[in-house]
C-alpha cells in the first residue's frame, strides 16, 4: 500500500526461497501434499475474503438494527447472513466489529503478530505484519493514517484496537454521503478491505 512499509527485494526473495524449501520438505515428509498450499490460498481468495466483509458492512449500512446486533454480538449477526460455511472457522473465531461515526475513527492492528479476521478480510497484507507499522500505529496512529493518505480531523478520536487470538477486530466504516439511492449490492462495491481496517474510509465514487 505505501512504500514505507515495503520490504527490500532481496528480503522478499530470501523469504520466498525459504517458504519454497519448507513446503518441499513438508511434502517430502508426507505432512502436506503438493496441493495443500494452493488449496488454502484459493480458499482465501475465493471463499473467505473482503467480499464477505463488504456484504456484512453493506447490510449494516441499510439496516440499523442489524448494525446494532453486529456490534453487540458479531458472530451471531454474521450468522444471520447468507455467507459461505466456516465464517466462524479458522481465524474467524471471536470476531468483533467496531463502528466509525460520531467523532470516532477506528483502526485495527495486531501489535503482537498479525491477528486478523480472515473470513471477512482475507489474508492480511504484509505491511500489516511489519513491526514498524505495528508499533507506530499504536503510538502515533494519526501520523500513520496521514501517511496512508487519510486525514482525521483533530476533534475526531482515533481508537486503536489490538487484535489477538482472543478477539479479531474489524471496522464498520461510515456510509458515504450521496449513496441514499444505492442498492445494498451497489453499496458492497464501496467497502474496501482498507476501510474495514481503518486505514481508509469508504467513498461514494
Ligand atoms: Fe497476531
pLDDT at 91: 77
The reply to whether 98 falls in a domain is yes
The reply to whether 1 falls in a domain is no
The reply to whether 204 falls in a domain is no
pLDDT at 86: 83
Examine the domain organization and report whether 73 and 119 are in the same domain.
Answer: yes
What's the pTM value of the predicted model, to 2 decimals?
0.90
d(CA 181, CA 162): 35
Q: Which residues, in sequence order, are CB contacts of 204 under 8 Å at separation 6+?
A: 176, 177, 178, 179, 190
Dist. CA 162 → ligand 1 center (Å): 9
Residue 2 CA from chain centroid, whole number: 16
**Mean pLDDT score of the chain, rounded to an integer?**
93
Name the pLDDT band for 4 (thresholds 50, 70, 90).
low
Examine the domain organization and report whether 100 and 157 are in the same domain.
Answer: yes
37 is in which domain, residue-wise? Answer: 8-46
From residue 166, give the alpha-carbon distance in Å to each of 79, 91, 94, 113.
19, 10, 6, 13
Alpha-helical (H) ranges within 106-205 are 118-121, 131-139, 141-147, 184-188, 193-197
The CATH number of residue 87's host domain is: 3.90.330.10
Examine the domain organization and report whether 89 and 158 are in the same domain.
Answer: yes
Dist. CA 165 → ligand 1 center (Å): 7
The reply to whether 162 falls in a domain is yes
Name the grid cell of 83: 455467507
Examine the domain organization and report whether 56 and 157 are in the same domain.
Answer: yes
Catalytically active residues, by annotation: 110, 113-115
Examine the domain organization and report whether 19 and 117 are in the same domain.
Answer: no
The reply to whether 102 falls in a domain is yes
pLDDT at position 88 over 90 = no
Maximum pairwise Cα distance, the chain: 58
Torsion sign, CA atoms 103, 186, 70, 170: negative
pLDDT at 87: 86
| 152-191 confidence digits (pLDDT tens) | 999 999 999 999 989 999 999 999 999 999 999 999 999 9
Examine the domain organization and report whether 33 and 60 are in the same domain.
Answer: no
Examine the domain organization and report whether 102 and 87 are in the same domain.
Answer: yes
Kind plus residue range of the DSSP H or E element containing 161: strand 157-162
Examine the domain organization and report whether 66 and 163 are in the same domain.
Answer: yes
Report whether 71 contacts 43 (CB < 8 A). no
Examine the domain organization and report whether 69 and 130 are in the same domain.
Answer: yes
Name the grid cell of 203: 467513498
Q: Which residues, in sequence order, are CB contacts of 54 under 8 Å at separation 6+?
A: 188, 189, 191, 192
Dist. CA 109 → ligand 1 center (Å): 9
Q: Hey, how many other C-beta atoms are within 10 angstroms of the C-beta on 187?
A: 22
Please state the domain count of the chain: 2
pLDDT at position 99 over 80 = yes
Examine the domain organization and report whether 57 and 154 are in the same domain.
Answer: yes
pLDDT at 58: 98
| 46-85 confidence digits (pLDDT tens) | 999 999 999 999 999 999 999 999 999 999 999 999 998 8
The reply to whether 37 falls in a domain is yes
Gap between the terminal Cα atoms of the chain = 19
Examine the domain organization and report whether 32 and 68 are in the same domain.
Answer: no
Dist. CA 169 → ligand 1 center (Å): 11
Examine the domain organization and report whether 93 and 171 are in the same domain.
Answer: yes
Mean pLDDT of 102-124: 94
Amino acid at each position: 500500500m505505501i512504500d514505507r512499509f515495503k520490504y527490500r527485494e532481496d528480503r522478499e526473495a530470501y523469504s520466498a526461497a525459504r517458504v519454497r524449501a519448507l513446503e518441499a520438505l513438508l511434502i517430502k515428509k508426507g505432512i502436506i501434499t503438493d496441493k495443500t498450499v494452493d488449496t488454502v490460498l484459493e480458499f482465501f481468495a475465493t471463499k473467505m475474503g473482503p467480499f464477505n466483509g463488504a456484504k456484512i458492512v453493506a447490510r449494516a449500512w441499510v439496516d440499523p438494527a442489524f448494525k446494532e446486533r453486529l456490534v453487540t454480538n458479531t458472530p451471531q449477526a454474521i450468522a444471520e447472513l447468507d455467507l459461505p460455511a466456516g465464517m466462524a472457522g479458522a481465524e474467524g473465531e471471536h470476531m468483533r466489529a467496531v463502528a466509525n461515526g460520531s467523532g470516532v475513527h477506528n483502526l485495527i492492528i495486531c501489535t503482537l503478530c498479525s491477528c486478523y479476521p480472515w473470513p471477512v478480510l482475507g489474508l492480511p497484507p504484509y505491511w500489516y505484519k511489519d513491526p514498524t507499522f505495528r508499533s507506530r500505529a499504536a503510538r502515533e496512529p494519526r501520523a500513520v493514517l496521514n501517511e496512508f493518505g487519510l486525514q482525521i480531523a483533530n476533534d475526531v478520536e482515533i481508537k486503536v484496537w489490538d487484535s489477538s487470538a482472543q478477539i479479531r477486530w474489524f471496522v464498520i466504516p461510515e456510509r458515504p454521503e450521496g449513496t441514499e439511492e444505492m442498492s445494498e449490492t451497489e453499496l458492497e462495491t464501496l467497502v474496501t478491505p482498507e476501510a474495514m481496517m481503518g486505514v481508509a474510509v469508504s467513498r461514494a465514487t
